[in-house]
Structure 1
Amino acid sequence: MPTIGIFVNLQKDRYLDVTRQLVDELTHQQADFYLETSIAAALQIPEFGMEEEELYRNCQVLMALGGDGTILGVARRAAPIGIPIAGINLGRMGFLTEIEIGDLKKVVRQILAGRYEVEHRMMLAAKVTGPNRPEPLEIQCAMNDLMVTRHSVNRMLRVVLEANNGLLDRFSGDGVVIASPTGSTGYSLSAGGPIVDPLLPCMVVTPICAHTLHSRSMVLSRDEEIRIRAARPEEAMLLMVDGQESYAIFPGDEIAVARSPYEALFLRLQARDFYSLVRNKLWEWSQ
């Protein structure tokens, strides 16, 4: 049986009720499992606690309790190590968290018996270079998207986009989001981008509030390298990773976005039906 590492979003499971259910079932099945040290202490089982870094090093399967945001953070850390993730949905969207609370017992037995498939999801990487940067800023893993936006809120950003074969677009607006296939249902969708199958090998480039009639979302091959810079060399920008991490982009910097060398691994416990999921979630959003 695999050793299971458990990550908990305390904002979603404040009183650890769902975490206790999971721990009780794992204990009943005599499984090897560990939680973050503080969570194990709160549950009064400190012997099952590990520091976060140790969980990634010593576990073969990760279970994340929370919403899609919880999965994004765990996926960025787990991908370079190659550990698969199972998401337990305590959030609202649930695109990445497949498991519902009522299915916990059944799911635990499936995982311990090895009755699952591993789905590989493409991720993005970015490299930032510039005359005012002593060494490049490298981001190895973005699960959903990389967003480049204006640093100053009181003026539009003039963006220049280039790809392998030359100029893609030049426009004024709030910025641009480069989404992975998985991230096409995130910020890119809100900015007018298309929904693409998460297993499709591509990148989605979507302008944010472009002040032009011609700038539209584009779907590019995963083999492209997309280069982003401000048209005004003196302009600073901001780079956001999955909406969770932010980096200052100095005047004169260029951001190169490409396919990450790493993939996120997700446990699939039932037949995949992405289109039903999208249909149901879009209906929920409209309520």
Structure 2
Amino acid sequence: MLSELTDWLSQKGMVVRIEESARPILQRKELSCPSGELASKSEIIIAMGGDGTLLKAARLVGQKLTPILGVNLGSLGFLTETVEEEIYTVLEDVVKDSYEVDRRMVLEAKLGDVGHEFHALNDFVIIMGESGRIVEIALHVSDEYVCAFPADGVIVSTPTGSTAYSLAAGGPIVHPTMDCIVVTPICAHSLGLRPMIIPSSETIETEVRSRAEDARLVVDGQESLRLKSGLRVQIRMADYHINLIKPKKKSFFEILRTKLRLGGREEDRAAGTEG
């Protein structure tokens, strides 16, 4: 499909560049582009695969604001809204500059006083590593102490990430164009602890209080960092958004019905396939 798509785009007068890791698939060396240069040299980026591919593309784009079109070639593909059969219809709109874009909030995390920054379109997750033991986490919101709790971990997600790991852990579904922060404990050993939605103007601060040295911070499911006991992680809304190209006439609620089976009834799923 990649070869066919490349030819179609070229016929439409568009210059095509292929991320260097995909070069063996297409075998056209002249189109290869280093990952770090792809966003700055592109007007749009097409991420073909599953949600993990789109998250990788978001990391490459960063603050450059290059719109991303996610094409689902996998199974669920909640973020990659465009299916293979729709790709040329959507790209026709792109060529005509008549496409729609969703602005998606991004989270920024800083570790301690060192100042290293990490960004996530979906979520930051604090969990224990290979030991599988529970971790004690202290939670602050903008310098105000909230609580401390033992759990398997905690998820701090964007609205976009609310339908990912957070949802599986019992978190709420949040419309992806909103700006807020979702805090979802993972199997907390406390009956009174529930997921929380925090204004995007606030800063979430977590501190691992467990003595074990195998606590991890996982960034969008793609990068894992070791957290020492007592290290504080500050998470806030980043100063940029990721722009996702969306198919026309496909709403967030239709995607919930068809991909997450919202409602669970046959008529709910059928409603998502009607014109």
Same fold (TM over 0.5): yes
CA distance in 2 between counterparts of 1:280 and 1:110 reads 24
2:184 pairs with 1:203: no
1:136 aligns with 2:136: no
Cα contact 1:67–1:94 (8 A) shared by 2 = yes
* Aligned equivalent of 1:14: none
- TM-superposition CA deviations, 1:9-54 (whole Å, max 9, x none): xxxxxxxxx2122112113323211112453464343222222222
- For structure 1, the 5+ residue unaligned runs are 1-17
CA contact (8 A) 1:40 1:47 kept: no
Answer yes or no: is the 8 Å Cα contact 1:236–1:251 preserved in 2: no
The separation in 1 between residues aligned to 2:24 and 2:171, in whole angstroms, is: 44
CA offset at residue 177 of structure 1? 0.3
**CA apart distance, 1:106:** 2.0
Q: Which residue is equivalent to 1:54?
A: 37
**Which residue is 1:270 aligned to?**
248
| Residues 1:246 and 1:40: Cα distance change in structure 2 (over 3 Å) | closer
- On the 8 A contact 1:146/1:242 being kept in 2, the answer is yes
Equivalent AA in structure 2 for residue 210 of structure 1: A
The one of 207, 212, 220 equivalent to 1:242 is 220
TM-score, length basis structure 1: 0.85
Instruction: Name the structure 1 match of 2:267.
Output: none
1:73 to 56, 61, 64: 56
Assess if the C-alpha contact under 8 Å between 1:169 and 1:215 holds in 2.
no
Q: Relative to 1, partners in 2 of residues 1:26 and 1:257: Cα closer, same or farther, differing over 3 Å?
A: same
Structure 2 stretches lacking a partner, 5+ long: 265-275
- Map 1:59-208 → 2, pairs under 5 A: 59-129=42-112, 135-139=114-118, 141-151=119-129, 153-164=131-142, 166-208=144-186
Q: 1:128 to 1:60 in 2, by over 3 A?
A: same
TM-score, scaled relative to structure 2: 0.89
Deviations 1:95-154 (A, max 9, x none): 211221112222222111111122210010101116xxxx33321x20100001124525
Judged with a 3 Å threshold, the aligned counterparts in structure 2 of structure 1 residues 29 and 164 are, in CA distance, closer, same or farther, namely same
Query: SS of the counterpart of 1:97?
Result: coil
> Closer, same or farther in 2 for the Cα pair 1:170/1:117, shift >3 Å?
same
Which amino acid counterpart does residue 249 of structure 1 have in structure 2? Answer: L
Question: Where does residue 3 of structure 1 map in the other structure?
Answer: none
Which whole-Å CA distance do the structure 1 matches of 2:164 and 2:25 have between them? 34
In structure 1, the partner of 2:6 is 23
Instruction: Answer yes or no: is 1:215 the counterpart of 2:198.
Output: no
Counterparts of residues 215-234 of structure 1 (less than 5 Å): 215-232=193-210
Task: Among all aligned residue pairs of Structure 1 and Structure 2, give the percentage whose two residues are the same amino acid.
Answer: 35
Structure 1 match to 2:26: 43
Displacement over 6 Å in runs of 4+: none
Cα gap change, 1:191 to 1:39, in 2 (>3 Å):
closer
Choose 178-187 or 109-118, whichever is displaced more.
Answer: 109-118
Question: In structure 2, do the counterparts of structure 1 residues 230 and 109 end up closer, same or farther at CA, with 3 Å as the change threshold?
Answer: same
The one of 204, 212, 230 equivalent to 1:252 is 230
Mapped to 1, the partners of 2:21 and 2:191 lie a distance apart of 52
Aligned 8 A contact 2:175 2:252 in 1:
yes
How far, CA to CA, are the matches of 2:55 and 2:20 in structure 1? 21
Secondary structure of residue in 2 paired with 1:88: strand
Corresponding residue for residue 8 of structure 1: none
